[in-house]
């Protein structure tokens, strides 16, 4: 049967798509139905018919699925921000676990049994609502010219008027209503994307979950026009705008003090600022920030958790971070503690390792690692984030973390090509936490040349994760552990942490042979001289010296000990390969002698 646009069909939903849409089939014809839940029997209207499939709109739920729940949000379907809010949370976790698994198999090319052996249960949320510590609300007008704020409808820039998002903190509603009321009373205009006119574009709200501190930043379409003498200063201790008489303040908003007086009374209010953005762009924040009242930053604390114990209790270690309007900081602080603690666990640090943290942001993961590592190097493209990282290191009395500004795919290769300290060029661990697009090819290539013992990959997109894991596996690494962390309840998004360890040899270098030890004249000591044994011997007899498998292989060659060709070589024949330093060669030779290999 051929289906046409606007046809109505009845279909049983049997699966969930990657974007949370329900999937059903009629006589082999596949339908993707937004807002339908697996297990539903629904009536749907076909919107975009193709040859073998069609996109359809949910019209009516004829028989609800046992996994269907009543959404908290009235605007759930129009908004599109919570793709899974009508699906039970237990089923959401199952969907996310399966999504990670499917991507590793389909995109990464890993065998299903290989993935199943390595996947650990997803880390769930205790409270899958009210978890976001940051929200950005567009400001505009409705059809009647009334000033509104809320969120964009799915795939549009039409604002759905809503001051109560159930993913954000309760204080958001109070703050937004104060701002809307102020704008209406003071004649402050909302920004119009079509004309580029109007003053207030967005409202950013951030909250420190541990500190309870609140930040409000209004993004405005106007530079400061004058500096006025005001009688009330910015800093208060009791919630009212009062202070040193005669201080100066930029007059960025009409009747600015009226707004500040009201915001200052909100419990926890710590910072009020404006961000100047006069560009016709979809980028929300401008680069110029002016503090109108209070502090330029708020603080929050991230606690280290024991991910091996039930309930993931605090270990007692913690880090305090200062957060500015432009700071990158994970939006779910409770789950972030679990995410970073898991990355720390996978890193397996002993206190001696050199670690590179790529895409480090304001240094959250870097500083987690620094407390357990010998030295940490962080790389981030945003200069302000690196400034924040350095300040956060000082704030937490950490002196073994160094940060560099630049693209990871440029900074890392540049360091490697220039040469330098062996520990920098051949670290014990590399941690990557890239944006949704994953790691750049140049970055992955350099990581393989640097030959770290372990790689910890933190991903916000399991599709690009799977692609990158395939490259790293082909380059001589084995996936050891995979675990999802649900950072974004009610949505299709999920974080994933993966541990990779360096193989002694690439998979293609192995061949199956039958060996008679007696014929080879091998001793029991010689047959036990694995790479790990040699590394352990070198460390124990040389004050913790670390040597890589590559260095051991190079010394074996010099001694005429046969091993598979192209052991851990880079893909290209002319690629630079690090050579074993003299002191490490001597230490490895001593280990060979101890095991009677030479």
CB 473 within 8 A of CB 448: no
Q: What are the residues whose beta carbons fall under 8 Å from the beta carbon of 66, sequence distance 6 or more? A: 39
Mean pLDDT of 149-163: 92
Q: Mean pLDDT lowest for which of 91-105, 280-294, 505-519, 520-534?
A: 505-519
User: CA 384 to CA 405: how far, in whole Å?
Assistant: 9
pLDDT attached to residue 228: 46
Mean pLDDT of 181-207: 97
Topology annotation, domain 1-68: OB fold (Dihydrolipoamide Acetyltransferase, E2P) (2.40.50)
Q: Tens of pLDDT along 331-347?
A: 999 999 999 999 999 99
Tokens representing 56 are 């359809």
φ, ψ at 8 (rounded to 5°):
-100, 135
pLDDT band at 248 (very low <50, low <70, confident <90, very high): very low
Inter-helix orientation angle 462-474/441-450, to 10°: 40
Q: Mean pLDDT lowest for which of 216-225, 377-386, 524-533?
A: 524-533
Q: Which of 236, 234, 235 is nearest to 248 (CA)?
A: 234
* Strands (DSSP E) found in 508-593: none
Three state DSSP letters for 55-86 = EEEEEEEEECCCCECCCCCCCHHHHCCCCCCC
CATH 2.40.50.1070 intervals, the chain = 134-296
pLDDT band at 276 (very low <50, low <70, confident <90, very high): very high
Mean pLDDT of 126-138: 97
pLDDT attached to residue 562: 60
pLDDT attached to residue 226: 53
Query: Using alpha carbons only, what angle is made at residue 281 by residues 279 and 286, rounded to the nearest 5 degrees?
Result: 55
Q: Which of 60, 84, 56 is nearest to 72 (CA)?
A: 84
Q: Which of 279, 216, 292 is nearest to 253 (CA)?
A: 292
* Strands (DSSP E) found in 503-591: none
Does the pLDDT of residue 70 top 60, yes or no? yes
The full DSSP string for 427-477 is -SEEEE---TT---HHHHHHHHHH--SEEEEEES-HHHHHHHHHHHHHTTE
User: CA 469 to CA 464: how far, in whole Å?
Assistant: 9
Topology annotation, domain 134-296: OB fold (Dihydrolipoamide Acetyltransferase, E2P) (2.40.50)
Q: Tens of pLDDT along 40-66?
A: 999 999 999 999 999 999 999 999 999
Give me the chain's average pLDDT, please. Answer: 88
Inter-helix orientation angle 408-418/441-450, to 10°: 40
Cα 282 to chain centroid distance, Å, stands at 22
Topology annotation, domain 331-503: Rossmann fold (3.40.50)
pLDDT attached to residue 245: 29
Q: Mean pLDDT lowest for which of 43-47, 366-370, 424-428, 569-573?
A: 569-573
Does the pLDDT of residue 152 top 50, yes or no? yes
Does the pLDDT of residue 566 top 80, yes or no? no
Q: Mean pLDDT lowest for which of 204-218, 351-365, 417-431, 568-582?
A: 568-582
Q: Which residues of 162-196 are buried (b: 16+ CB within 10 A; e: fewer)?
A: bbebbbbbebbeebbebbbebbeeeebebbeeeee
Place of tokens 């009536």: 43
- The residue with greater pLDDT, 272 or 424, is 272
User: CA 429 to CA 355: how far, in whole Å?
Assistant: 5
Strands across the sheet with 354-358, in order? Answer: 119-123, 477-485, 495-502, 454-459, 429-432, 354-358, 375-380, 401-405
pLDDT band at 242 (very low <50, low <70, confident <90, very high): very low
- Cross-strand pairs, 288: 276
- The residue with greater pLDDT, 457 or 250, is 457
Q: Tens of pLDDT along 316-329?
A: 999 999 899 988 88
pLDDT attached to residue 414: 85
Q: Which of 598, 504, 508 is nearest to 551 (CA)?
A: 504
CB 165 within 8 A of CB 72: no
Q: Which of 77, 52, 103 is nearest to 496 (CA)?
A: 103
Q: How many residues does the chain have?
A: 598
Q: Tens of pLDDT along 434-451?
A: 999 999 999 999 999 999
Q: What are the residues whose beta carbons fall under 8 Å from the beta carbon of 417, sequence distance 6 or more? A: 576
Q: Which of 73, 217, 460, 494 is catalytic?
A: 460
CATH 3.40.50.150 intervals, the chain = 331-503
pLDDT band at 224 (very low <50, low <70, confident <90, very high): low
Largest CA distance in the chain: 95
- The residue with greater pLDDT, 594 or 13, is 13
Q: How many CB atoms lie within 10 A of CB 490?
A: 26
pLDDT attached to residue 246: 30
Q: How far apart are the first and last CA of the chain?
A: 77
Q: Which of 396, 394, 401, 399 is nearest to 378 (CA)?
A: 401
460 catalytic per annotation: yes
Q: Tens of pLDDT along 484-519?
A: 999 999 999 999 999 999 985 544 544 555 555 444
pLDDT attached to residue 420: 64
Does the pLDDT of residue 129 top 90, yes or no? yes
CATH 2.40.50.140 intervals, the chain = 1-68
CB 371 within 8 A of CB 344: no
Report helix, strand or coil for 506: coil
User: CA 389 to CA 118: how far, in whole Å?
Assistant: 33
């Amino acid at each position: 049967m051929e289906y046409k646009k606007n046809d109505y069909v009845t279909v049983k939903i049997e699966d969930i798509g990657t974007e949370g849409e329900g999937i059903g089939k009629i006589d082999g014809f596949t339908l993707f139905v937004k807002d339908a839940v697996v297990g539903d029997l629904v009536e749907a209207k076909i919107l975009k018919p193709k040859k073998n499939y069609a996109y359809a709109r949910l019209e009516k739920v004829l028989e609800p699925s046992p996994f269907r729940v009543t959404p908290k949000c009235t605007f759930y379907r129009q908004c599109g921000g919570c793709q899974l809010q009508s699906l039970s949370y237990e089923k959401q976790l199952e969907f996310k676990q399966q999504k990670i698994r499917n991507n590793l198999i389909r995109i990464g090319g890993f065998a299903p049994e290989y993935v199943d052996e390595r996947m650990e249960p997803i880390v769930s949320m205790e409270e899958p609502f009210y978890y976001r510590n940051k929200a950005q609300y567009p400001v505009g007008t409705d059809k009647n010219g009334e000033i509104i704020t809320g969120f964009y409808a799915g795939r549009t820039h039409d604002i759905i008027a809503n001051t109560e998002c159930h993913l954000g903190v309760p204080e958001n509603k109070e703050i937004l209503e104060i701002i809307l009321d102020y704008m209406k009373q003071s004649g402050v205009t909302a920004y119009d994307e079509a004309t580029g006119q109007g003053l207030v574009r967005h409202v950013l709200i951030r909250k420190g979950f541990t500190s309870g501190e609140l930040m409000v930043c209004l993004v405005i379409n106007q530079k400061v026009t004058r500096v006025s003498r005001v009688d009330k200063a910015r800093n208060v201790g009791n919630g009212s705008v009062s202070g040193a008489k005669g201080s100066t303040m930029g007059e960025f908003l009409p009747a600015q003090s009226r707004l500040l007086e009201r915001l200052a009374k909100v419990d926890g209010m710590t910072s009020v600022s404006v961000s100047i953005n006069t560009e016709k762009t979809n980028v929300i924040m401008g680069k110029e920030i002016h503090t109108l009242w209070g502090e330029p930053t708020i603080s929050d604390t991230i606690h280290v958790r024991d991910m091996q114990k039930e309930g993931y209790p605090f270990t007692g270690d913690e880090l305090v971070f200062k957060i500015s309007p432009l700071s990158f900081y994970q939006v779910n602080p409770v789950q972030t503690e679990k995410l970073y603690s898991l990355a720390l666990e996978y890193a397996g640090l002993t206190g001696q390792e050199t670690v590179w943290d790529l895409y480090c942001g304001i240094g959250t993961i870097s500083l987690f690692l620094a407390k357990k590592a010998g030295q940490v190097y962080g790389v981030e493209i945003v200069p302000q984030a690196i400034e924040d990282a350095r300040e956060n290191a000082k704030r937490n009395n950490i002196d073994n973390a160094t940060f560099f500004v630049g693209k990871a795919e440029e900074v890392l290769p540049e360091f490697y090509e220039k040469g330098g300290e062996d520990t920098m060029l051949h670290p014990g661990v590399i941690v990557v936490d890239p944006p949704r697009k994953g790691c750049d090819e140049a970055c992955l290539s350099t990581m393989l040349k640097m030959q770290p013992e372990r790689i910890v990959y933190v991903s916000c997109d399991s599709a690009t994760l799977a692609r990158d894991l395939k490259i790293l596996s082909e380059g001589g690494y084995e996936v050891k552990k995979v675990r999802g962390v649900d950072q974004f309840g009610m949505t299709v998004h999920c974080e994933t942490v993966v541990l990779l360890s360096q193989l002694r040899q690439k998979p293609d270098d192995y061949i199956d042979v039958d060996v008679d030890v007696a014929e080879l004249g091998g001793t029991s000591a010689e047959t036990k001289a694995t790479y790990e044994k040699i590394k352990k011997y070198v460390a124990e007899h040389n004050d913790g010296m670390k040597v890589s498998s590559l260095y051991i292989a190079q010394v074996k060659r010099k001694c005429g000990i046969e091993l598979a060709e192209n052991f851990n070589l880079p893909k290209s024949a002319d690629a630079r390969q690090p050579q074993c330093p003299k002191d490490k060669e001597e230490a490895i030779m001593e280990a060979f002698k101890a095991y009677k290999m030479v």
